[in-house]
């Protein structure tokens, strides 16, 4: 069975500082890993994905994520946080030919001015 | 494209009543997913369709829940009878499958409150 864990319910950072939102995964095959963001009263929006290749993936709004196979992690990062980045972030995993995308519990990111 | 469209945005009903949630996927997408989001359980996959055919409904919590997709542009999720524990945000999502690594496009959700 596939699953993801987001160990932090909440992450607080100051505007302009780097941010990291953590995610670890567990799958029986090669993973497809995703990050989605949810703003208040909205559906989830795709940020980025890792399929294969370069372990550092760049996505929307200046976010990037690093795939680490040995640590089974896929942490989301941004060099300089903005107040507008404040939202709920979800990590998700799939395996090939499986449409059951498993989401983590979500991490609420708050960026303070 | 207008994206995935869900209706209603908010639904308040009394226990025992029938509730129908609606979804219009993005035109051309061949996969449609229904998710439920609660504080306690997070985001759960309820059921998904491929080319209008239900593929996996193992996430549907009880027989009170049913979902249909009569054509490529419309799906419904019905709860009958509704219970207070069904209160949640229900999301519909669609995708164009190309091996499992495509992204999902989510609607804005239906906030359901069962009193």
**φ and ψ of B50, to 5 deg:** -125, 125
A63 inside 8 A of chain B by CB: no
Residues in chain A within 8 Å Cβ distance of B56: 99-100
pLDDT in tens, chain A (113 residues): 778 999 999 999 999 999 999 999 998 888 899 999 999 888 899 999 998 888 999 999 999 999 999 999 999 999 999 999 999 999 999 876 667 788 999 999 999 99
Cα A74 from Cα A91, distance rounded (Å) = 8
CB within 8 Å: A43 and B108? yes
Interface check for B50 against chain A (CB to CB < 8 A): the answer is yes
């Amino acid at each position: 069975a596939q699953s993801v864990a987001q160990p932090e319910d909440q992450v607080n950072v100051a505007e302009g500082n780097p941010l990291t939102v953590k995610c670890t995964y567990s799958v029986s095959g090669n993973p497809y890993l995703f990050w989605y963001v949810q703003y208040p009263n909205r559906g989830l929006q795709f940020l980025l994905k890792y399929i294969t290749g370069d372990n550092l993936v760049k996505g929307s709004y200046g976010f990037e994520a690093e795939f680490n196979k040995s640590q089974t992690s896929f942490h989301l990062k941004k060099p300089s946080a903005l107040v507008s980045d404040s939202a709920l972030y979800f990590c998700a995993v799939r395996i090939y030919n499986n449409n059951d995308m498993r989401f983590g519990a979500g991490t609420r990111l708050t960026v303070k001015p | 494209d207008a994206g995935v469209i869900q209706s209603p945005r908010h639904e308040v009903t009394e226990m025992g009543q029938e509730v129908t949630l609606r979804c219009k996927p993005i035109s051309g997408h061949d996969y449609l997913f229904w998710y439920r989001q609660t504080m306690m359980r997070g985001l759960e996959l309820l059921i998904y369709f491929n080319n209008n055919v239900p593929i996996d409904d193992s996430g549907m919590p009880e027989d009170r829940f049913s979902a249909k997709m009569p054509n490529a542009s419309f799906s419904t999720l019905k709860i009958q009878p509704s219970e207070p524990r069904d209160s949640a945000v229900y999301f519909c999502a669609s995708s164009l499958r190309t091996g499992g690594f495509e992204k999902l496009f989510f609607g804005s959700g239906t906030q359901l409150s069962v009193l």
